[in-house]
Chains A and B, each alone.
Chain A
Amino acid sequence: SQELEQSPQSLIVQEGKNLTINCTSSKTLYGLYWYKQKYGEGLIFLMMLQKGGEEKSHEKITAKLDEKKQQSSLHITASQPSHAGIYLCGADGYGGSQGNLIFGKGTKLSVKP
């Protein structure tokens, strides 16, 4: 079955610093989704990547999908306290569960003022 591995599990950065979160798949990715979650709340959709080499940006967050479509990275530039939360990557699921997403376990980001 497909698995998504996220690294690091948690991250503490000083405000203003850059950071990168990685998401690695055991199978080729046909759709890769990044979400953000505040503790005890629902997931907020950030970006979707589909093509090898694709890169998308929204405000200070950039997501990339590698050419082989097995790894994605999420990069935050000049982090702010508002970036704190849990970042999850999701991918289109296989194995008969058509239409669902498989999720990584998440990366918990803390930003120190």
Chain B
Amino acid sequence: DGGITQSPKYLFRKEGQNVTLSCEQNLNHDAMYWYRQDPGQGLRLIYYSQIVNDFQKGDIAEGYSVSREKKESFPLTVTSAQKNPTAFYLCASGYGGRAKNIQYFGAGTRLSVL
């Protein structure tokens, strides 16, 4: 089945710990995105990548890091510098480009702080 797989579904972070959220797609999409969703706030862009080995910061990149070594994979690391990491994290992929930018989403990872 083609699609986007996020893992794990639930994740708990201890104080001072870095955690990594996985995102894999087999849709052959060039672009991949990470969004954060908080209650009542909609989705906010953390990082995005239009091509392998290249990525750009979104609106709320502080405290997060990413890599794009393979077209299929775009992992997100939530570092200890992110003081309020509790949220629902969504990964998406698409062909990129404006005005025909349909993005397809994974099922999400819910991150909580212990």
Contacts and interface: CB of A to CB of B under 8 A. Distances in A.
Given A45-B104, A97-B48, A103 B42 contact: yes
B7 to A, nearest CB: 13
Nearest to A50: B99
A31 interface: yes
The number of chain A residues touching the other chain, given as a range, is: 20 to 34
B98 A40 contact: no
A20 to B, nearest CB: 20
Contacts, number: 74
Interface residues of B, number: 33
Interface string A65-109: 000000000000000000000001010110001111101111000
A31 B83 CA distance: 34
Nearest to A100: B45
Given A31-B100, A101-B101, A42 B48 contact: no
Interface of A: 30-31, 33, 35, 40-45, 48, 50, 88, 90, 92-93, 97-101, 103-106
Interface of B: 4, 6, 31, 33, 35, 40-43, 45, 48, 50, 56, 58-59, 88, 90, 92, 94, 96-108, 110
5 contacts: A42-B105, A50-B99, A99-B50, A99-B96, A101-B43
